[in-house]
Amino acid sequence: MKKIIEIPDEVADKFEQQNYKMSVEHNQIVLKSDVDQLDAQNFSLHYMLIPSLLSLLISLFTFFLSGHSQINFTGGRYHSVAGISMLCATIIGFVTFLWVYAKQNTSPQKRMLSRIRELVTISLAYTLIVFAIQALIWYILGMTFVGVTLDRFTASFVAALFSAIVFYFLILFAASVKISHLIILLFITFIGGIFLSMATNGQNAWWQYNFSFLGTGEAKNQWQFNFTMIFSALMLLTITDYLFMDFQKSDLYNFKVKIVQAFYYIIALFIAGVGIFPAQSWTMTFHNASAYGIVLCIIILIVLSKYLLPQISREFLSMSAIVFIALVTSAILFLKVHYLSLTVFEIIAFAISFTWLVLMINALQKMLHESSVYQVEVVELKENI
In a domain, 104, yes or no: yes
DSSP state of 384: P
How many domains is the chain built from?
Answer: 3
Which of 152, 177, 202 is the last residue in one of the domains?
177
In whole angstroms, give the CA distance from residue 156 to residue 83: 11
Pair (229, 153) in one structural domain: no
In a domain, 130, yes or no: yes
pLDDT at 88: 93
CA contacts within 13 A on the Cβ side of 115: 13
- Structural domain boundaries enclosing 293: 194-376
In a domain, 188, yes or no: no
Q: Residue-wise pLDDT tens for the chain (385 aa)?
A: 667 777 776 666 666 556 667 677 666 777 666 555 556 677 788 888 999 999 999 999 999 888 888 888 887 666 889 999 999 999 999 999 999 988 876 566 667 777 888 888 889 889 988 988 898 898 888 888 888 888 989 999 999 999 999 999 999 888 888 888 888 888 888 888 888 888 887 666 777 777 777 888 777 778 888 888 998 998 898 889 888 888 887 778 889 999 999 999 999 999 999 889 888 877 888 888 898 898 899 999 999 998 998 888 889 999 999 999 998 899 899 888 888 888 888 888 888 888 899 899 999 888 887 766 667 777 776 665 5
Pair (127, 161) in one structural domain: yes
What residue type is assigned to position 112 of the chain?
M
Pair (240, 361) in one structural domain: yes
In a domain, 186, yes or no: no
Pair (27, 50) in one structural domain: no
Q: How many residues does the chain have?
A: 385
User: Are the C-beta atoms of 347 and 340 separated by less than 8 Å?
Assistant: no
In a domain, 171, yes or no: yes
Pair (123, 43) in one structural domain: yes
Pair (26, 83) in one structural domain: no
Residue 53, classed as helix, strand or coil, is helix
DSSP state of 334: H
Residues 6+ apart with CB under 8 A from 22: 29, 30, 31, 32
Pair (14, 78) in one structural domain: no
Pair (152, 198) in one structural domain: no
217 burial class (0-12, 13-18, 19+ CB within 10 angstroms)?
exposed
Which of 146, 177, 208 is the last residue in one of the domains?
177
In a domain, 350, yes or no: yes
Residues 6+ apart with CB under 8 A from 350: 211, 294
Between strands 70-72 and 149-151, the pairing is antiparallel
Which of 150, 177, 204 is the last residue in one of the domains?
177
Residue 14, classed as helix, strand or coil, is coil
In whole angstroms, give the CA distance from residue 300 to residue 173: 36
Strands (E), the chain: 2-6, 20-25, 28-33, 70-72, 149-151, 377-381
In whole angstroms, give the CA distance from residue 148 to residue 146: 6
Pair (65, 147) in one structural domain: yes
Beta-bridge mates of residue 71: 150
In a domain, 296, yes or no: yes
Pair (244, 271) in one structural domain: yes
Residues 6+ apart with CB under 8 A from 184: none
By C-alpha distance, which of 132, 353, 107, 347 is closest to 238? 107
In a domain, 189, yes or no: no
Pair (312, 359) in one structural domain: yes
Beta-bridge mates of residue 37: none
Pair (213, 260) in one structural domain: yes
